[in-house]
Structure 1
Amino acid sequence: MKPRRRSPSRSKSSGLTTFVRAARFGALAAIAFGLASCAIAPSSSRYPTKGDVRPHQGVARAHQLPIHGVDISKWQGDVDWASLGQAGTKFAFIKATEGDDHLDSKFHENWWAAKKAGVPRGAYHFVFWCSPAQDQAAWFKKNVPQDPDALPPVLDVEWNGQSVNCPKKVPREQALAMIQVMLREMEAHTGKRPIIYTDITFHKEILEGEFNDYPFWIRSTAAEPHERYSDRRWTFWQFTTTGRVPGVKGDVDRNTFYGTENQWRMFVQSACDPRDHSRLKPLGLCRDMDPVQTASVSE
């Protein structure tokens, strides 16, 4: 049976109606998408493709800083590093080891994929307070490649409260001694002064007033760092654990660097916080910086 032919006028009217309906639907969809985007992505002209499913007004200033990055472990699953880099990700800290016997199952895959994608990356070690510091340092050195192009390593120090095997805390003096051993050994292995990552509780109980010659990466997801940390100057700030970034499925920690794009270049080149370079360079703790590219630590 042949299809019934429509008159020209009816066909035109029907086509116009369909077009209007489609246009209305498209407009409504665009509005809905825009509202959804506003709900998950704090306003930022720097990284419009990045967002947060639970944005907090207390950390709004972080979105205005120019250098943003992530930290990654096996919990992020398969990462599309090319997309992550194209989204404006300037750095990534990748979980390598924990305690004296655990290697993140995605570490080596992430480590080399990040390098291939051109995303500057550093490895981090999560401290387990029931294992000797020397053994933990040896485990880190066994599993983390010596890459002169990598960012400084990170020592992650926080209490293991959710651990089944080691939920206890150790005395302050013991914790400080363990940290000192691991910092020394990680620096010897990588040739770079490590970064110390910590949270509010551990910093207050153990780290206040300590390790002032080291760059700090601090967690503060509901307020600016100066509101939560007593007199602690920070180099990196983890401002949300519910971030969304192209290349990563689901939540990811988002972080920011304290300074300008020029100060970031100085950090990458010297492996030191630019604010400390003149003091630490004579001690052999920082690399040389190109004076043409790095005019001033204040820029």
Structure 2
Amino acid sequence: MRILAIPLVVLGCLSLAGCTSNASTETAAAAAPATSKTTRLATSSIAPVPAADVGAPSANPQQEALAWNGAMPQPHAFDGMATTVGMPLPTERPIAALRPAMPDRIEPVPRNTGRAQIYGHRFRDAKPINFGRVSPRKLAVHGVDVSRWQGDIDWARLRTQGANFAYIKATDGGDHLDPMFRTNWRKAKEAGVKRGAYHFFYWCRTAGEQADWFIRNVPRDPDALPPVIDVEYNGESSCKVRLSRARILEKMQVFMDKLEKHYGKRPIIYTAPDFYSDNLDGEFLRYPFWLRAVAQHPANVYPGRKWVFWQYSGSGLTQGVEGKIDLNVFHGSEGDWHNWLAQAG
């Protein structure tokens, strides 16, 4: 029946003196504001866990205004994938109205279901710490986090040294993109390193603007690790505002809701001891945590907190990278790692 329909369509077009069609294209762009100085992630704990709740504008409206001057940049494409900001995303809301957002259904995308080889760690440390019986070296799956400060990385060699996963610095605030992100994102995948992206949160920007900026620059790859929000104090930042605990939790929730809705993966929270003690102790119980603890085990620094990743050193040394690199470990065995990847993705 479909074959017979073709001549009818052709005749109809000829009788109208020709068929024409117009294609329209849509482009999406998202601007972004103030920046904060690039900082490395620091963490210290790991155990597959889900999340909790709670963001807000600054008292100075000018601080919240977009800082981008000039033509609006267009979305970037990485690894053959274009990022978009076209999905309906939640906006900032009062604390009482916040609920963990459930990701929209995402059409099935072909993904790599094979189990990558796990390399034993061969890292050294410029400032080694004796963690005793709870040494991170007793855990099976090690990894790194990187940014522009690691320069041109030999990813293939880094992987064989024990970098089974890598979190790559992507964005700060609402208008800063790490200049090495695109290169590191591409080369890490080519080397077979399981990779994810992280965002350094800037407290003088709205959470929605920062989420949009991250989404514009980080591809939606079903094989990537869950996105990370890095929340900590930064004495070198131009943003000197100290928000209330409730305000901090609210802004974080707005940011994480948007990312979860877009990527279909619950974000991981990276933090350091002082910020955690002031703002996150007892909060976000349904979210996985990545904890910085470079002198003691996370159980001593963050009592009662489950964790998925532990950043145990900021002075790692390894082949494939000139200078120092942050070292991390997954909380579990090789089997736990593969199971967590299946659940997280």
TM-score (norm 2): 0.64
Aligned partner of 2:34 in structure 1 is: none
Bigger share in helix: 1
Aligned partner of 1:75 in structure 2 is: 149
Could you tell me whether the CA contact under 8 Å between 1:46 and 1:64 is conserved in 2?
A: no
Question: Offset of 1:267 from its aligned partner?
Answer: 1.2
Aligned partner of 2:186 in structure 1 is: 112
Whole-angstrom distance in 2 between the partners of 1:58 and 1:86: 24
* Pair 1:255 & 2:336 matched: no
Question: Offset of 1:88 from its aligned partner?
Answer: 2.5
Question: Offset of 1:58 from its aligned partner?
Answer: 3.2
1:40-59 counterparts in 2 under 5 A? 46-47=120-121, 49-58=122-131
Whole-angstrom distance in 2 between the partners of 1:245 and 1:171: 40
Gaps of 5+ in 2: 1-118
Aligned partner of 2:254 in structure 1 is: 181
Please list the CA deviations of residues 266-294 of structure 1 after superposition, one character each: whole Å capped at 9, or x if unmatched. Answer: 111221xxxxxxxxxxxxxxx6xxxxxxx
Question: Offset of 1:265 from its aligned partner?
Answer: 0.3
* Pair 1:227 & 2:300 matched: yes
* Pair 1:145 & 2:219 matched: yes
Aligned partner of 2:337 in structure 1 is: 264
SS of the aligned residue for 1:57 comes to coil
1:271-290 counterparts in 2 under 5 A? 271=344
**Which fold has the larger relative contact order, with Cα–Cα distance below 8 Å and residues 6 or more apart in sequence?**
2
1:239-254 counterparts in 2 under 5 A? 239-254=312-327
Q: Percent identity?
A: 49
Whole-angstrom distance in 1 between the partners of 2:321 and 2:264: 30
RMSD value, Cα = 1.4
Following TM superposition, where does structure 1 have runs of at least 4 consecutive aligned residues deviating by more than 4 angstroms?
none
Whole-angstrom distance in 1 between the partners of 2:236 and 2:304: 28
Matched residue pairs, number?
226
Please list the CA deviations of residues 134-161 of structure 1 after superposition, one character each: whole Å capped at 9, or x if unmatched. Answer: 1000100111111111010101010122
Selected match of 2:168 from 78, 94, 110: 94
Could you tell me whether the CA contact under 8 Å between 2:120 and 2:161 is conserved in 1?
A: no
* Pair 1:162 & 2:239 matched: no
Please identify the structure whose Cα radius of gyration is greater. 1
Tell me which amino acid in the other structure corresponds to 2:150: Q
TM-score (norm 1): 0.73
Whole-angstrom distance in 1 between the partners of 2:120 and 2:192: 19
Aligned partner of 2:37 in structure 1 is: none
Whole-angstrom distance in 1 between the partners of 2:130 and 2:236: 28
SS of the aligned residue for 1:134 comes to helix
Whole-angstrom distance in 1 between the partners of 2:249 and 2:269: 12
Gaps of 5+ in 1: 1-44, 272-286, 288-299
Whole-angstrom distance in 2 between the partners of 1:231 and 1:251: 31
SS of the aligned residue for 1:236 comes to strand
Please list the CA deviations of residues 164-186 of structure 1 after superposition, one character each: whole Å capped at 9, or x if unmatched. Answer: x2033211111000000111111
SS of the aligned residue for 1:85 comes to helix
Please list the CA deviations of residues 157-215 of structure 1 after superposition, one character each: whole Å capped at 9, or x if unmatched. Answer: 1012221x203321111100000011111111211111100000111100011111111
Whole-angstrom distance in 1 between the partners of 2:234 and 2:213: 18
Please list the CA deviations of residues 30-54 of structure 1 after superposition, one character each: whole Å capped at 9, or x if unmatched. Answer: xxxxxxxxxxxxxxx942x311011
Question: Offset of 1:236 from its aligned partner?
Answer: 0.4
Could you tell me whether the CA contact under 8 Å between 1:93 and 1:124 is conserved in 2?
A: yes
Could you tell me whether the CA contact under 8 Å between 1:52 and 1:244 is conserved in 2?
A: yes
Whole-angstrom distance in 2 between the partners of 1:247 and 1:189: 33
SS of the aligned residue for 1:105 comes to coil
